[in-house]
Structure 1
């Protein structure tokens, strides 16, 4: 058995995965906002509760987290949960749990989960993007995570939006928490969809409400979703030109928008340098559980 922890900005989810990949115990708690010490304590409590439920101790623990571990300092970097940045997260969790902990970026865990037994099972190359509070991504090649020389493989969300359109006021673009303007994350995250709708004359409403209004025929909401699809298509076309993956998997709250899977592949042709496009765009099979399943899979089943 293995424990997976998904350390998110709003919730901490934990599971126990059996050797046959079934999830036999689950826990979910709210993430203490902006409190690093309380976050460590919350993770430790989730692990303790899971082990009590399955009557086991010292189980292997894998953690999916936002951002990346710096190879220079061992501290976390690039996390949109900013209280985690510049903290020795792995060392502190190992001290709190009194065992070795394996860690990977949350989008990497999504990619691993979906490549092993999810939507992209059997594919040799997988790009998986989280479209939620932020916009990150991970890459799996032949069943193995691609970490990269700087531990930033898949940091797609902090590239600039490709081919910005002046008629949509896409330059310089919104300010990003990373200090730049116009990052893909500022256009494709859930809050970004809500912001774009408000900037273009709509009400300040959630992305879920925008989707519901568009499905009901609201013209302004439908226009907001059309702009979103166009930006997603442009952003993914660059991924296909660079990586040429077999499958692109979408996770996160916005991955539930069914029309993305019809409209985006019809739009991305314009930016792809090929006469045929075989890449498939699919929703994550395991949905919200993909990240935590991937975290558990950081340890082998044997």
Structure 2
């Protein structure tokens, strides 16, 4: 058996898979985000419970939001209780087996290029999550790219393009990472709402913006134009750096078919002749991708670069 754990700011999920990657069991527990010791104890307890329920000891992979730096510390705004821990060392003291830990966005791209994923078997892929945040992960030559500082793929913290900022008179917003005008604040779900309100709309959620856009509201149409320009520019930069064959879109905004369909043309505007626009596909496994990717990494399905 293979266990995957996806640690979120409010809920932590464990899933148990058989050797063919069929899900045998899964459940969620509230995340004690402010209490690191309680969170570590929760993770160990979930693993022991899985062992009892399935009569064995599964391999283990864990996905966390944010950046796990080169020193093993987690930089995640929604898990403040873990900031003082060297994560691998702290987990090793609570867990009775070997394990792999990874950023949840990189778990996502592993799952979606694995069996049954939207880009199954693809060796060069980029996974872009557009939900409450904007995370990403890359597969290069079939290997998960981590980089020296372990934060490769963090496209949401690329800077706002100056041309788009001037064209749409966008404010320079502070980012939770400590920088200013990171793309995440404009392209993720809450960012799309900010764009709508910037142009005079009144939505409070991405879903409300989408309904206004479908109804032809002017502010919603202007927000859509700006959002696509920002996404096209950002993903074109990813293409120029990594040359993926497929870009997989996940997160809440991926449910909007019209957004996914519009991305190739939006990227093409920012690519020079001769650079092929990659296929853009929506995640096939949805919310299950992160936890499944963690389990796959724990099982040694991919190597890391």
With normalisation by structure 2, the TM-score equals 0.90
Q: Mind listing any 5+ residue stretches in structure 1 that lack a counterpart?
A: none
Q: State which drifts further: 92-101 or 265-274.
A: 92-101
Q: Secondary structure at the match of 1:291?
A: helix
Would you say the 8 A contact 2:232–2:267 is kept in 1?
yes
Find the aligned partners of 2:78 and 2:102 in 1 and give their Cα distance: 15
Would you say the 8 A contact 1:174–1:182 is kept in 2?
yes
Q: Secondary structure at the match of 1:225?
A: helix
Post-superposition offset of 1:237: 0.8
In structure 2, what is the equivalent of residue 45 of structure 1? Answer: 45
Post-superposition offset of 1:127: 0.6
Q: Secondary structure at the match of 2:13?
A: strand
- Per-residue displacement from partner, 1:113-150 (whole Å, max 9, x unpaired)? 11122111122201101111211110112322111122
In structure 1, what is the equivalent of residue 58 of structure 2? Answer: 59
Find the aligned partners of 1:54 and 1:219 in 2 and give their Cα distance: 55
Find the aligned partners of 1:99 and 1:141 in 2 and give their Cα distance: 29
- Given the alignment, which residue of 82, 97, 107 partners 1:109? 107
Superposition pairs for residues 199-218 of structure 1, below 5 Å? 199-218=198-217
Q: State which drifts further: 118-127 or 29-38.
A: 29-38
Would you say the 8 A contact 1:131–1:189 is kept in 2?
yes
Find the aligned partners of 1:212 and 1:42 in 2 and give their Cα distance: 40
Q: Mind listing any 5+ residue stretches in structure 2 that lack a counterpart?
A: none
Find the aligned partners of 1:206 and 1:212 in 2 and give their Cα distance: 10
Would you say the 8 A contact 1:19–1:301 is kept in 2?
no
In structure 1, what is the equivalent of residue 5 of structure 2? Answer: 5
Structure 1 pair 191–30 and aligned structure 2 pair: CA distance change class (3 A)? farther
In structure 1, what is the equivalent of residue 253 of structure 2? Answer: 254
In structure 2, what is the equivalent of residue 80 of structure 1? Answer: 77
Q: State which drifts further: 136-145 or 47-56.
A: 47-56
Structure 1 pair 37–224 and aligned structure 2 pair: CA distance change class (3 A)? farther
Find the aligned partners of 1:255 and 1:233 in 2 and give their Cα distance: 15
Would you say the 8 A contact 1:63–1:101 is kept in 2?
yes
In structure 2, what is the equivalent of residue 25 of structure 1? Answer: 25
Find the aligned partners of 1:45 and 1:222 in 2 and give their Cα distance: 49
Matched, 1:235 2:226: no
Q: Secondary structure at the match of 1:97?
A: coil
In structure 1, what is the equivalent of residue 299 of structure 2? Answer: 300
Q: Secondary structure at the match of 1:128?
A: strand
State the Cα RMSD in Å: 2.0
Would you say the 8 A contact 2:69–2:151 is kept in 1?
no
Matched, 1:36 2:36: yes
Find the aligned partners of 1:203 and 1:38 in 2 and give their Cα distance: 40
Q: Secondary structure at the match of 2:181?
A: coil
Post-superposition offset of 1:276: 5.2
In structure 1, what is the equivalent of residue 92 of structure 2? Answer: 94
Q: Secondary structure at the match of 2:58?
A: coil
Would you say the 8 A contact 2:6–2:14 is kept in 1?
yes
Post-superposition offset of 1:13: 1.3
In structure 2, what is the equivalent of residue 283 of structure 1? Answer: 282
Post-superposition offset of 1:283: 0.7
Structure 1 pair 232–16 and aligned structure 2 pair: CA distance change class (3 A)? same
